[in-house]
């Protein structure tokens, strides 16, 4: 998935999988909390995860589907979890999908809670003498939680193999980042922690991949933690039901103009890397893959009531 | 009251004609806050999206009326916000803080339990910490473990914090007004499944000085065979169970304490002295949960009146799961309450 075409495929797969989830919610096939989509933010996860190796561990946010797909999790089992089925990765217990075997830990419930935990995983990776790294996603909103500041300082002091990846999509639910963060950037905070910091275009998967790859190389070589801020734009609502009354039509339309998939596809076409036919074939394949995932989820059994009492203790 | 409909985020259906005149719980809380903000300029609000896009609509319209100085959208920084509420309270203000989901209070517990709750005592009574924290709670909405718990037992356990749990519109308004006027930290737990529900109210609902004092239970239904003590949605599940059991000749009394701290011990004990049987029902986790406190109270004070061992229903101690059949398995409901009552009254 590291090739340009692979990155595009990942981004499209994220977009389509999430759209299918939102459609299922809209049809009332899925109840409960509305889907949290990464529409417009796909390049961040696709690029970041392309810089990782097996054994590296990623900690996700409440917008976890993008990194799940980017790390190669099985769309059928992701979808089954989102449908609350026992064939889902978490057996219907939580829509924040985890696949330990692929190094994806889903920690969506409490904003920023995953950041100290990721630092601890990085500590374990270091103490156990591996050259593996941890990467933690957190939002611009999460960046204002004490947990992030405490962890950044700890990771800096202990030279942990950690990538702090701030996915700045411009909003914390309805609150624009401009009224939540006084400073010009979150990446600038790195200096205060004594860490290297980088600000990248989060709508460019190659830029994200390269920035994260440099951070990963530093971490593997014992150089410690890097703070990367990827600037992107949330194209949809905070959750799928959000009517976004706090955003103007013009703002949303302009954001769609900068859609990372549209942009990257045009770039690959211009570079001669993607023909019309190849693009159409890729879309058709993804369409079929997601349709199969939805069908699998629909056909899967719901959990038995007694399963509510399983898995609490190790 | 319907069982778990999991429609929290869907548009509400049409209001039933007979309910049109009845205020919703959400509207009642909003009205109480609006009246208190008009009455007292020191009352102000802090919370995530409470001005820009009010979660569950409880603060709707307040920013328009009172402005952004008094209805403050905060960054996602719960420790700072709860701590700032404590400080503002020390400084003569009466802050109201909203959490989008009450479960998130876990992030800022120190500022509540060790700062807000202890300061008055530790300063020998020199300071007051009048603040209200609003905490949407409860399961049955398919929102997953960190958005579905009922954690008031944690805070009833800690000294120095009052805990209110409104089950009707009248109580929501009157208890909120009492909470705002109280000179102590108050946690105000709002069950998400009740927000849209509408309840008939007496004329005093309109009175801006109608306050429901803390520490007075409501007897929601009188009965002779068994006392159910329940809060929030479980009040309505218990009433549904009582109604069904009446047809079987079982007479159930339903007591809603309305506040856990202070707790109206007299009404609970008095009811059990009359009926001789006690069932405490709550969504709270059973172990060290509020149900156990009620059983302890009754066994200490009215042991001789008990005709059957008291019982409790609640979440048996598993995180509230996401998938509906799993969530159903861990929450009490009218059917389970009725079954427990039958087993207790049948010799
Ligand atoms: C401690 C805590 N506070 C608040 C919330 C409610 N909440 C859920 S998602 C979210 C937005 C966080 O914004 P950001 O970190 O920028 O992530 P984004 O939603 O933009 O991806 C908030 C405030 C929460 N889950 N946990
Ligand atoms: Mg954000």
Its ipTM equals 0.96
CB B84 within 8 A of CB B129: no
Chain center to CA of B311 = 21
**Atom 3 in ligand 1: residue holding the nearest Cα:** A111
Query: Nearest Cβ partner of A172 from B76, B143, B318?
Result: B76
Q: Exposure string (b/e) for B130-142, b if CB count within 10 Å is 16 or more? A: bbbbbbbbbbbbb
Sequence ranges of the domains in chain A = 4-300
Q: CA of A293, closest CA in chain B: separation in Å? A: 18
- Tokens 């007075």, located at residue: B216
Overall average pLDDT of the B94-101 stretch: 98
Instruction: Please give the torsion angle defined by the CA atoms of residues A116, A119, A121 and A122, in that order, rounded to the nearest 10 degrees.
Output: 180
Mutation test of ligand 1: which of A172, A174, A177, A242 has the most ligand atoms closer than 8 Å to its C-beta? A172
Q: CA of B273, closest CA in chain A: separation in Å? A: 36
Q: What residues are in contact with ligand 1 under a 6 Å CB criterion? A: A 61-63, 110-111, 139-142, 169, 171-173, 234, 238; B 48, 76, 78, 100, 104, 107
Ligand 1 centroid – CA A173 distance (Å): 7
Q: CA of A165, closest CA in chain B: separation in Å? A: 17
How far, in Å, are B7, B39, B69, B70, B204 from residue B90 at the CA level? Answer: 40, 20, 18, 17, 33
Domains, chain B: 3-206 (3.40.50.970), 218-345 (3.40.50.920)
Give me A107's structure tokens.
Answer: 């920690």
Blockwise average pLDDT, block size 10, chain A, 314 residues: 91 98 97 96 98 98 98 98 98 96 96 98 98 98 98 98 98 97 96 98 98 98 98 97 96 96 97 96 98 98 97 96
CB B279 within 8 A of CB B227: yes
Ligand 2 centroid – CA A186 distance (Å): 12
State residue A1's pLDDT score: 55
Chain A residues whose CB is inside 8 A of the B319 CB are 93, 312
A interface test, pick of B47, B49, B53 with most A CB neighbours within 10 Å: B53
Average pLDDT over all residues of chain B: 97
* pLDDT tens column, B192-217: 999 999 999 999 999 999 999 999 99
Give me A89's structure tokens.
Answer: 């990765």
Which residues, other chains included, contact A182 with Cβ-Cβ below 8 Å and sequence gap of 6+? none
**Atom 8 in ligand 1: residue holding the nearest Cα:** A111
Helices (H) and strands (E) in chain A, counts: 11, 8
State residue B11's pLDDT score: 87
C-alpha distance across the termini of chain A, in Å: 35
Positive or negative: CA dihedral B32, B33, B34, B37: positive
C-alpha A172/C-alpha B48 separation (Å) is 9
B interface test, pick of A107, A109, A181, A247 with most B CB neighbours within 10 Å: A109
Considering only CA atoms, which of B231, B229, B232 is closest in space to residue B340?
A: B229
DSSP B268-294: HHHHHHHHS-EEEEEEEESTT-HHHHH
In A226-255, the residues whose Cβ lies within 8 Å of chain B are 239, 241-242, 245-246
Q: Assign residue B219 a region: left if phi > 0, alpha if psi is -120 to 50, beta otherwise?
A: beta
Ligand 1 centroid – CA A111 distance (Å): 5
C-alpha A256/C-alpha A268 separation (Å) is 19
CB A66 within 8 A of CB A285: no
CB B324 within 8 A of CB B137: no
Query: Nearest Cβ partner of A111 from B76, B143, B323?
Result: B76
Measured from the Cβ of residue A248, the count of other Cβ atoms closer than 10 Å reads 10
Indicate whether B1 pLDDT > 60. Answer: no
CB B144 to CB A179 under 8 A?
no
State residue B5's pLDDT score: 85
Give me A131's structure tokens.
Answer: 């050259």
CATH of region A4-300: 3.40.50.970
> pTM for the complete prediction?
0.97
CB A234 within 8 A of CB A169: yes
State residue B4's pLDDT score: 82
């Amino acid at each position: 998935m590291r090739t340009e075409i692979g990155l595009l495929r990942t981004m499209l797969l994220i977009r389509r999988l999430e759209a299918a989830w939102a459609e299922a919610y809209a049809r009332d096939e899925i109840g409960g909390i509305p889907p949290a989509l990464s529409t417009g933010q796909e390049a961040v996860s696709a690029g970041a995860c392309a810089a990782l190796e097996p054994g590296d561990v990623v900690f996700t946010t409440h917008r976890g589907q993008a990194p799940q797909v980017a790390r190669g999790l099985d769309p059928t089992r992701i979808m089954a979890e989102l449908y609350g089925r026992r064939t889902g990765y978490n057996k219907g217990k939580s829509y924040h999908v985890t696949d330990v075997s692929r190094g994806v830990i889903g920690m969506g419930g409490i904003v920023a809670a995953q950041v100290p935990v990721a630092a601890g995983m990085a500590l374990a990776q270091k103490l156990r003498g591996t050259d593996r790294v941890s990467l933690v996603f957190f939002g611009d909103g999460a960046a204002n939680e004490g947990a992030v500041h405490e962890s950044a300082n700890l990771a800096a002091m202990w030279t942990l193999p950690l990538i702090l990846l701030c996915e700045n999509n411009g909003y914390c639910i309805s609150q624009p980042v401009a009224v939540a963060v006084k400073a010009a950037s979150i990446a600038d905070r790195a200096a205060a922690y004594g860490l290297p910091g980088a600000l990248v275009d989060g709508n460019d998967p190659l830029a994200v991949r390269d920035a994260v790859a440099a951070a990963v190389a530093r971490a593997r070589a014992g150089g410690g933690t890097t703070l990367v801020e990827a600037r992107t734009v949330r194209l949809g609502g905070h959750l799928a039901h959000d009517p976004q009354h706090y955003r103007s039509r013009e703002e949303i339309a302009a954001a769609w103009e900068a859609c990372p998939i549209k942009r990257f596809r045009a770039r690959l076409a211009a570079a001669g890397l993607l023909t019309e036919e190849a693009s159409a074939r890729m879309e058709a394949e993804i369409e079929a893959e997601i349709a199969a995932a939805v069908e699998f989820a629909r056909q899967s059994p719901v959990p038995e009531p007694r399963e509510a009492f399983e898995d609490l203790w190790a | 009251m319907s069982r778990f409909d999991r429609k929290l985020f869907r548009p509400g259906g049409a209001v039933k004609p007979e309910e049109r005149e009845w205020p919703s719980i959400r509207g009642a809380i909003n009205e109480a806050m609006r009246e208190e903000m008009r009455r007292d300029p020191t009352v102000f609000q802090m919370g995530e999206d409470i001005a820009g896009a009010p979660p569950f609509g409880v603060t709707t319209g307040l920013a328009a009326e009172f402005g952004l100085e008094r209805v403050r959208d905060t960054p996602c920084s719960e420790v700072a916000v709860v701590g700032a509420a404590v400080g503002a309270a020390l400084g003569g203000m009466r802050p109201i803080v909203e959490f989008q989901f009450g479960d998130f209070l876990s992030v800022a517990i120190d500022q509540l339990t060790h700062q807000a709750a202890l300061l008055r005592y530790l300063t020998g009574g020199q300071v007051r910490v009048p603040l209200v924290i609003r905490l949407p709670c409860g399961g049955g909405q398919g929102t997953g473990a960190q958005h579905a718990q009922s954690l008031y037992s944690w805070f009833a356990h800690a000294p120095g914090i009052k805990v209110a749990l409104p089950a009707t519109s009248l109580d929501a308004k009157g208890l909120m007004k009492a909470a705002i006027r109280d000179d102590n930290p108050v946690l105000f737990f709002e069950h998400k499944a009740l927000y849209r529900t509408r309840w008939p109210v007496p004329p005093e609902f309109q009175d801006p000085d109608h306050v429901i004092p803390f520490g007075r239970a409501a007897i929601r239904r009188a009965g002779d065979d068994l006392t159910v003590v329940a809060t929030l949605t479980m009040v309505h599940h218990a009433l549904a169970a009582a109604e069904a059991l009446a047809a079987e000749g079982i007479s159930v009394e339903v007591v809603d304490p309305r506040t856990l701290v202070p707790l109206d011990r007299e009404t609970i004990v008095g009811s059990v002295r009359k009926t001789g049987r006690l069932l405490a029902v709550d969504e709270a986790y059973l172990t060290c949960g509020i149900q156990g406190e009620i059983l302890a109270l009754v066994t200490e004070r009215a042991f001789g009146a008990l005709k059957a061992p008291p019982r409790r229903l609640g979440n048996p101690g598993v995180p509230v799961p996401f998938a509906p059949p799993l969530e159903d398995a861990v929450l009490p409901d009218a059917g389970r309450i009725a079954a427990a009552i039958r087993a207790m009254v049948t010799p």
